[in-house]
Chains A and B, each alone.
Chain A
């Protein structure tokens, strides 16, 4: 919590640590070699990270690009303490956290030889926040809401950029440190990132053979001396999961795809090849139930509450995830995340009582109050995405709900229709998965619970909660902010806004010769590959 004790101080300068980052495991890094990684599908939007939210783009595109700041690739924890400079050498909060000033590195070049300047930063973030005078527009802009508090971006000289905020928002820095937040070149049309990549990153794109692989070569002009260690990277597209696992087992690929390896799969791989390294980490993805609060019967808070009481989270984790997930509210709990409610705080919330039978009894009572009994059951249609990991969870939930007099029939929705349907609110109840970029309350609350947010699929809107979200966002005292964040999570669970069922754990697997590839608290933030080296 010391990071917020700086509150009240106008200037907090954090020196970039990228160049002096300590290699993991105490071994001296070796230069050279190529790493082979795996993709589950081809790059959906090329390298255009700003136009997508899928890890299938962020993971293979990150080595080409840089952020202003980034979560330290060598540290598991993502917090203000672990942010290092990339294109920004230093940064400074001014005017009581209303102005964020970045001092940019000098001598940085884009892969096409053009110099990097503050114009590129202003171009990128004006475009991403949808500023009226932005030089370019994104075709799809999923994270515009992240920058709702940015009033203006100024570039007073080629190496200084100022983000002027409407109100203090210390956590803006966390969003800027996400893998979702690279800087684009102002001289390259944003559409070009869908077919190629002009970045400043540690690796240059050598070839993208569609549907097959992406090859990178080391950027010899990279601004961090001595980095990257590797000569190149190859990302191979392997659509079939069994073949992906076989490729990892046979050593044809060096590491798994983030968010892909279940506990069971990791155990099987480890049994077959004992020397494989398995690191459990949070995917920052949760299973949740979305209930349309604008439509009957879930416009009735009692019915929503009954649903939340009815679902035994621990049984779901055991049955659906084979133990490869943890309970938590709307933010990932420690040690997987920083802000989530600890388990003892969860015990008093709907669905978390130690005895599941008690919860079911409560759920039946609440349903009876709402006018539904096992003799006169409530019949609804539950939607879920037509993907196995969604359907498994939905089937479990339907069985739980049946026990309290709520009979749901499952309707599987094609991926092409899923988000459109959810955004329109064209459903009653749904079994859903939600991925969150950085482990930060602002990014999560505004996106998933903010009134009017397109990703607030339940359309839950509480003035009280919005005020609380606003207060925590501006809170400079870390302890107070954490208390506020806990209170918001309790309120969201008590209102059954979008009951959280489990936080998924990934069992990231790689060969022991892969060094410094450290999984973080979120799958979206550790793909830069600058520090990774091969001990082959």
Chain B
């Protein structure tokens, strides 16, 4: 097991190295740089002033030098300086992380708490009215973009209640109730889509397991229905569900752009878009690397969970 984890971490490092090249190259392929944006906000361009700023920021150096400098910074724990804010990148990024992680975690919790039980019910009551209702709900969740749902929630609240959630980040220490309100609504908007996906996966996986011989045997032996479904069937149907949960969590860390924007939450995804628009390379590069690390770690965690859920799974090494 330890060897397996060590091997996976080594592969993860190689993956991250490859990612760093992709991030670096793609960012430079995008037209324009921070200096173009600065002059754009001033409404003119002066080539000599432009060159001076490029030299000041170090973006006139060869790409290879810039790339190696970035790697050196990552290794030494110095993430460089934001071009836009003239502050250490870590100082800019650090406050964003808890917001996004909390939102993604809440959304996943909601989607699991809603998606798994409804998936089970839908499978157990296959082709009944309840199953159809739940399937319509899940189809609606998959069809509705989270940003649209978020905007509908905001507009609904302001129209009917004349109220919207706080527009600046409220920490739990400042006001726990407001903090909860601020996060619950976007978590619901995002979690609904994920829950729909989880529900469908749970339903189809469970339907397959319920047709297995050992389940039929359990029924024939007169086992308690709940025990058969929740202990024997669901546990074996959970592997694809866990995979989807892992993918969804990783996706949410970087994919909350529109939800964070609509609910005005100062998280990673919203900030990342702004940083891309400003070609703030140090911020973009490090944020994307952070997202890549989350994706790799969540995949690893999911693989570990396979062994816990299914004793037949063996880790090589």
Which residues of A are at the interface with B, using a C-beta cutoff of 8 A? 41-42, 44-46, 51-54, 56-57, 139-142, 191, 194-195, 209-213, 236-240, 242-243, 246-247, 249-253, 272, 414-420, 423-424, 435, 454-455
User: In chain B, what residue has the closest Cβ to A418?
Assistant: B40
B217 within 8 A of A: no
Provide the B24-56 mask, 1 if CB < 8 A to any CB of A, else 0.
000000011100111111111110010011001
How far is the CB of A269 from the nearest CB of chain B, in Å?
Answer: 11
Provide the B240-275 mask, 1 if CB < 8 A to any CB of A, else 0.
000000000000000000000111101000110010
- On whether A417 and B274 interact (CB within 8 A), knowing A52-B41, A140-B42, A246-B158, the answer reads no
Chain B residues contacting A418 (CB-CB under 8 Å) are 40
Q: CB distance B42 to A51 under 8 Å?
A: yes
What separation, in Å, do the CA atoms of A44 and B95 have in the docked complex? 19
Most-contacted residue by chain B among A209, A237, A420 (CB, 10 A): A420
Q: CB distance A53 to B42 under 8 Å?
A: yes
Chain B residues contacting A53 (CB-CB under 8 Å) are 41-43
Q: CB distance A139 to B37 under 8 Å?
A: no
Q: CB distance A423 to B44 under 8 Å?
A: yes
Q: In the complex, which of the residues A54, A246, A416, A420 contacts B155, with contact meaning CB atoms closer than 8 Å? A: A246
Q: CB distance B53 to A416 under 8 Å?
A: no
What separation, in Å, do the CA atoms of A416 and B168 have in the docked complex? 28
How far is the CB of A255 from the nearest CB of chain B, in Å?
Answer: 14
Q: In the complex, which of the residues B52, B96, B271 contacts A139, with contact meaning CB atoms closer than 8 Å? A: B52
- On whether A239 and B167 interact (CB within 8 A), knowing A419-B39, A420-B39, A455-B44, the answer reads no
- On whether A240 and B262 interact (CB within 8 A), knowing A210-B92, A420-B36, the answer reads yes
Q: A212-B169, A416-B31 are in contact. List 6 more A-B contacts (CB 8 A).
A: A140-B38, A141-B49, A142-B43, A237-B264, A242-B154, A243-B164
Chain A residues contacting B157 (CB-CB under 8 Å) are 246, 250
What separation, in Å, do the CA atoms of A57 and B40 have in the docked complex? 13
How far is the CB of B306 from the nearest CB of chain A, in Å?
Answer: 39
What separation, in Å, do the CA atoms of A416 and B34 have in the docked complex? 8
How far is the CB of A364 from the nearest CB of chain B, in Å?
Answer: 35
Provide the B120-159 mask, 1 if CB < 8 A to any CB of A, else 0.
0000000000000000000000000000000100110111
What separation, in Å, do the CA atoms of A242 and B263 have in the docked complex? 10
Q: CB distance B271 to A211 under 8 Å?
A: yes
- On whether A454 and B53 interact (CB within 8 A), knowing A140-B38, A243-B154, the answer reads no
How far is the CB of B44 from the nearest CB of chain A, in Å?
Answer: 4
User: In chain A, what residue has the closest Cβ to B82?
Assistant: A210
Q: In the complex, which of the residues A54, A211, A249 contacts B158, with contact meaning CB atoms closer than 8 Å? A: A249
What separation, in Å, do the CA atoms of A250 and B161 have in the docked complex? 9
Chain A residues contacting B274 (CB-CB under 8 Å) are 41-42, 211, 239
What separation, in Å, do the CA atoms of A195 and B52 have in the docked complex? 20
Chain A residues contacting B159 (CB-CB under 8 Å) are 272
How far is the CB of B95 from the nearest CB of chain A, in Å?
Answer: 8
- On whether A455 and B43 interact (CB within 8 A), knowing A243-B263, A416-B33, A420-B36, the answer reads yes
Q: CB distance B266 to A236 under 8 Å?
A: no
B279 within 8 A of A: yes
- On whether A142 and B42 interact (CB within 8 A), knowing A249-B158, A416-B36, A416-B279, the answer reads yes
Chain B residues contacting A211 (CB-CB under 8 Å) are 96, 266, 270-271, 274
Q: CB distance B158 to A45 under 8 Å?
A: no
B86 within 8 A of A: yes
Chain A residues contacting B168 (CB-CB under 8 Å) are 209, 212-213, 236
B63 within 8 A of A: no
Q: CB distance A242 to B164 under 8 Å?
A: no
What separation, in Å, do the CA atoms of A240 and B162 have in the docked complex? 18
Chain A residues contacting B155 (CB-CB under 8 Å) are 242, 246
How far is the CB of A182 from the nearest CB of chain B, in Å?
Answer: 16
What separation, in Å, do the CA atoms of A41 and B264 have in the docked complex? 11
Chain A residues contacting B32 (CB-CB under 8 Å) are 414, 416-417, 420
How far is the CB of B205 from the nearest CB of chain A, in Å?
Answer: 37
Q: CB distance B45 to A420 under 8 Å?
A: yes
Chain B residues contacting A272 (CB-CB under 8 Å) are 159
What separation, in Å, do the CA atoms of A56 and B40 have in the docked complex? 13
Q: In the complex, which of the residues A195, A243, A250 contacts B163, with contact meaning CB atoms closer than 8 Å? A: A250
What separation, in Å, do the CA atoms of A232 and B31 have in the docked complex? 41
How far is the CB of A443 from the nearest CB of chain B, in Å?
Answer: 13
How far is the CB of A253 from the nearest CB of chain B, in Å?
Answer: 8
How far is the CB of B187 from the nearest CB of chain A, in Å?
Answer: 17
- On whether A139 and B53 interact (CB within 8 A), knowing A52-B42, A211-B274, A414-B32, the answer reads yes
- On whether A454 and B41 interact (CB within 8 A), knowing A236-B168, A239-B261, the answer reads no
Chain A residues contacting B85 (CB-CB under 8 Å) are 46, 195, 210
Q: CB distance A140 to B92 under 8 Å?
A: no
User: In chain B, what residue has the closest Cβ to A434?
Assistant: B43
Provide the B156-189 mask, 1 if CB < 8 A to any CB of A, else 0.
0111001110111100000000000000000000
How far is the CB of A64 from the nearest CB of chain B, in Å?
Answer: 17
Sample of 26 A–B contacts (CB below 8 Å): A44-B84, A45-B41, A46-B85, A46-B86, A53-B42, A54-B41, A57-B41, A139-B56, A195-B87, A209-B266, A239-B274, A240-B261, A240-B262, A243-B151, A243-B167, A246-B155, A247-B167, A250-B162, A250-B164, A252-B166, A416-B279, A419-B40, A419-B42, A423-B44, A424-B45, A435-B43
How far is the CB of B267 from the nearest CB of chain A, in Å?
Answer: 10
Chain B residues contacting A424 (CB-CB under 8 Å) are 45
Chain B residues contacting A239 (CB-CB under 8 Å) are 261, 264, 270, 274
User: In chain A, what residue has the closest Cβ to B278?
Assistant: A44
Chain A residues contacting B36 (CB-CB under 8 Å) are 416-417, 419-420
- On whether A454 and B264 interact (CB within 8 A), knowing A195-B87, A252-B167, A414-B32, the answer reads no
Chain B residues contacting A212 (CB-CB under 8 Å) are 168-169, 266
Q: In the complex, which of the residues A140, A242, A417, A455 contacts B151, with contact meaning CB atoms closer than 8 Å? A: A242
User: In chain A, what residue has the closest Cβ to B84?
Assistant: A44
Chain B residues contacting A243 (CB-CB under 8 Å) are 151, 154, 164, 167, 261-264
What separation, in Å, do the CA atoms of A211 and B274 have in the docked complex? 9
Chain B residues contacting A247 (CB-CB under 8 Å) are 164, 167, 264
What separation, in Å, do the CA atoms of A56 and B164 have in the docked complex? 24
Q: CB distance A194 to B86 under 8 Å?
A: yes
User: In chain B, what residue has the closest Cβ to A141?
Assistant: B49
What separation, in Å, do the CA atoms of A470 and B183 have in the docked complex? 60
User: In chain B, what residue has the closest Cβ to A50?
Assistant: B42
User: In chain A, what residue has the closest Cβ to B37?
Assistant: A416
Chain A residues contacting B37 (CB-CB under 8 Å) are 415-416
How far is the CB of B9 from the nearest CB of chain A, in Å?
Answer: 33
User: In chain A, what residue has the closest Cβ to B164?
Assistant: A250
Closest 9 A/B residue pairs (Cβ): A416-B32, A142-B42, A454-B44, A423-B45, A53-B43, A246-B158, A416-B36, A54-B41, A419-B40
Chain A residues contacting B166 (CB-CB under 8 Å) are 252
What separation, in Å, do the CA atoms of A55 and B169 have in the docked complex? 25
User: In chain B, what residue has the closest Cβ to A192?
Assistant: B86
What separation, in Å, do the CA atoms of A387 and B190 have in the docked complex? 27
- On whether A414 and B31 interact (CB within 8 A), knowing A238-B167, A242-B155, the answer reads yes
Tell me the chain B residues, 219-245 only, with Cβ under 8 Å from chain A: none
User: In chain B, what residue has the closest Cβ to A424?
Assistant: B45
What separation, in Å, do the CA atoms of A211 and B85 have in the docked complex? 10
Chain A residues contacting B44 (CB-CB under 8 Å) are 142, 419, 423, 454-455
